[in-house]
Amino acid sequence: MTKAEIVASISEKSGIEKADVLRVVEDLMTEVKDSLNKGNNVYLRGFGSFIVKQRAEKTGRNISKNTTIKIPAHNIPAFKPAKVFVESVKINVPVK
């Protein structure tokens, strides 16, 4: 499902214009990205958590030059679904 399909579905179900729904969806994504960029996690009860994971420094290989390189420690975004969400997907039941 694409963002456009999500917007169309929400608009159809709620009766709100697509432009307004799109603005809200875009604002939600912006807020999540901004929060993660600041190092803050985002918790959405019943849905899941957008978290910042820290990767440790490690040694990698450049196979074209056959040399080792150091990959510095860095942060990556991750999503951890809520238990209710995971269970509903396992048994294929819509989330309430």
Query: What's residue 82's pLDDT?
Result: 95
- 15 contact partners, CB below 8 Å, separation of at least 6: none
Check: pTM over 0.85? Answer yes or no. Answer: no
- For residues 40 and 51, give the distance between their C-alpha atoms in angstroms, rounded to a whole number: 7
Q: Exposed e or buried b for every residue in 61-73, given b needs 16+ CB within 10 A?
A: eeeeeeeeeeeee
Query: What's residue 91's pLDDT?
Result: 85
What is the residue extent of each domain of the chain?
1-39, 41-96
* CATH number among 1.10.1060.10, 3.10.20.740, 3.20.20.150, 4.10.520.10, domain 41-96: 4.10.520.10
Tens of pLDDT, residues 74-89: 999 999 999 999 988 8
pLDDT of 23 above 70: yes
pLDDT of 15 above 70: yes
pLDDT of 90 above 80: yes
Tens of pLDDT, residues 47-72: 999 999 999 999 999 889 889 999 99
Long-range contacts of 48-57 (CB under 8 A, 24+ apart): 48/79, 48/80, 48/81, 48/82, 48/85, 49/79, 49/80, 49/82, 50/77, 50/78, 50/79, 51/77, 51/78, 51/79, 51/80, 52/76, 52/77, 52/78, 53/77, 53/78
